[in-house]
Amino acid sequence: MFRIASISLFTAYIFLLQFITTSQIGPDWEIPYAILKKSRLMLVVGLLFVIISGVLVLISYKSFDKYRISIKVIYISLIIIALGIIGLGLGGVFYQLPIRFPMLSSTIKYVFWPGLIISFVLLVKLLVGSATYH
């Protein structure tokens, strides 16, 4: 179950990273409705995958207890970061970046591929770590 939860969390990160990059597209002061609609959909789908991942870990809590502490720390920190992104996304912080912080907004446009590579490396670490017990 932990492997499925890890894959679900990785899928959530794909949608959340796509949400971050999509929310920075458009003119500096106005967000087109199509972009807003697409990015909100990605945020909701990412939230659903985070919830699925959390529920799967809670269902198999006894098997989660047997993994190494480093695996638990990676998984819990990924969940906290994902919930932070979702909270900021629901609060509209990412949509205000082009107005308030244009340099940060122009940098965040390119976060998808590096974020995807880092998420994949952590997924591999979780999958390999879940195959070995302490």
Q: What is the DSSP string of 46-80?
A: HHHHHHHHHHHHHHTHHHHTTS-HHHHHHHHHHHH
Number of residues that make up the chain: 134
Q: What is the pLDDT along the chain (134 residues), one digit of tens a residue?
A: 888 888 999 999 999 999 988 888 766 667 778 888 888 999 999 999 999 999 988 888 777 777 888 888 888 899 999 999 999 888 888 877 777 787 888 888 888 889 889 999 999 988 887 776 55
When divided into structural domains, the chain yields a total of 1
Residue 14, domain extent = 2-131
